[in-house]
A = this chain, B = another copy of it.
């Protein structure tokens, strides 16, 4: 039988020979990997050989959506971009919302696989069942906003939705992101892969209705989502008004809002200068994703001084950290300006901010001395915008940091390594995990590196007791809860629904709602258990991708500062995650996952998950 919500079609575009073809997706693959992150991981695993150069023509850039993307389900315009990350060498996926994902789905494709490398800059136009590979030489160099605007004007079609890179991606900064409108598929250097392929943009215009097999059941599930959203204490009363800046207040209260490259966490309380109240002053308008009733995206504008009139979508919590507290900066307007500049340059706000933080500490320590005249002290907001620009263009000393903190440390030598706040090469997000142990374990074990979105410990950060209450400073139990959190975080990723409604409202009914939506959309029956197993399968196939690349327990670690140096002040004062604590948690985690003590999935586990194909990548002892 045919799937419903899935068109069941994959568009393969080869940039080397400038061809494209439509392929039918295997029905069994769809049942096991359904869509989004899981489908992307499966395609990457199968199609990209071990040891591939992430920036070479043999790496692939895979756009996936899912059965409910672009339907009238709320919050279901989520795009997953999967590739081998040049920043980490592991599997990398990066997600974004907005309108592009729904529009892509309406072109009739569930997956777009980009392979090869164009000899000159190109962009791809997908419209009315045509795929055009066009010259992008005239857009090369443009920032992400101008790129989108000019392509629309040149094609005389303002309703196109466009995913593109900016100067950072063109210059192959390993922190480059891919933007659609002002939404970023931000992390793991996916923009560098796009740049390495000489691909400036993908423009889509959908002309198809997304089919749903059982509309009645589908609408019932949607009503359930809306009912839960309405009931939530957080979704509308708070989150839709503040957006993610909310987390500044929470993490500050717990003393885990990182400051000065994690050196001075807890010393200054940033919740006043950079929290919800501060940012409310800058609200201009909202710009919700496709069919999102919550609209957490606040458009904010700097109002005075030299950043006056600069607006941005956000800044999100992570950027308030990466352009604010982790740099010792307490100016909300500088954060707004930096957020906007990052979007235009097409560079990840998080990794680039943490790279600046590293440079600042190295400068204060006297390890970094040549800075092209920039006074790189913590708190010096004047250096941020020039530094960002220089990284995107790989200019001067900033070139050292343009490929992330790990590469910077490799260049600068052993002494610098202590200041590189990264796991597997991915810079740490905005939580000082020394005071959030499960969150820290997730950073150590997430298949993408230090990634808050692949296993968010909402029990520790917000005290949400799902599936049970968790004490944030405990070590015991954190292995099991981290497995849960990673599988739970995978649910929105495979469903292509935004994680916020899932976390804030669906919580205990998330699996049921997902099963109903997927079943109704596709006409195949997904049980709750099957949905949960897809989440686990995602984590395992990604782990196996990494295992095949040589990753193992040795890579499931944390920066030395997290392991050795206690938090200085505040409610988490004195906390660290010692190597012993980490090992304790890892042992429990591996056991919960059914992986061996070296962190390798056992053949039994892989069989249980229907991942027999990957067993050959298990290293022989």
Which A residues fall within an 8 A CB radius of B? 138-139, 141-143, 145-146, 150, 152-154, 158-159, 166-167, 181, 283-287, 299, 301, 303, 306, 308-311, 344-345, 386, 389, 392-393
Contact = CB atoms under 8 A, between A and B. Distances in A.
A154 B181 CA distance: 13
B141 A393 contact: no
Contacts of A308: 141, 167, 389, 393
Given A308-B393, A309-B167, A142 B345 contact: no
A311 B146 contact: yes
A167 B310 CA distance: 10
Q: List the number of copies, as a whole number.
A: 2
Given A139-B285, A143-B310, A167-B309, 16 more contacts: A138-B283, A138-B285, A139-B284, A141-B301, A141-B308, A141-B309, A141-B311, A142-B284, A143-B309, A150-B284, A153-B181, A167-B308, A306-B389, A308-B393, A309-B392, A309-B393
A172 B285 CA distance: 23
Contacts of A154: 285-287
A244 B521 CA distance: 56
Contacts of A145: 145
Contacts of A141: 284, 301, 303, 308-309, 311
A283 B139 CA distance: 10
Nearest to A308: B393
29 contacts: A138-B285, A138-B299, A139-B284, A139-B285, A141-B284, A141-B301, A141-B303, A141-B308, A141-B309, A141-B311, A142-B309, A143-B311, A150-B285, A150-B287, A150-B311, A152-B158, A154-B285, A154-B286, A154-B287, A158-B158, A159-B159, A166-B309, A167-B308, A167-B309, A306-B389, A308-B389, A308-B393, A309-B345, A309-B393
Contacts of A152: 158
Contacts of A150: 284-285, 287, 299, 311
B284 A138 contact: yes
Contacts of A287: 150, 153-154
A38 B358 CA distance: 63
Pick the 7 closest A-B CB pairs, nearest first.
A138-B285, A158-B158, A167-B309, A146-B311, A158-B159, A153-B287, A143-B309
A286 B139 CA distance: 10
Nearest to A181: B153
A300 to B, nearest CB: 10
Nearest to A304: B393
A530 to B, nearest CB: 36
A388 to B, nearest CB: 12
Q: Of residues A142, A159, A167, which shows the largest number of chain B Cβ atoms within 10 Å of its Cβ?
A: A142
A159 B283 CA distance: 25
Nearest to A143: B309
A166 B344 CA distance: 20
Q: Of residues A146, A159, A344, which shows the largest number of chain B Cβ atoms within 10 Å of its Cβ?
A: A146
Nearest to A154: B285
A170 to B, nearest CB: 9
A285 B145 CA distance: 15
Contacts of A301: 141-142
A158 B139 CA distance: 21
Contacts of A392: 309
A69 to B, nearest CB: 18
Contacts of A306: 386, 389
A347 to B, nearest CB: 11
Q: Of residues A285, A299, A303, which shows the largest number of chain B Cβ atoms within 10 Å of its Cβ?
A: A285
A167 B306 CA distance: 13
A593 B382 CA distance: 59
Contacts of A285: 138-139, 150, 154
Contacts of A143: 309-311
Contacts of A309: 141-143, 166-167, 344-345, 392-393
Contacts of A138: 283-285, 299
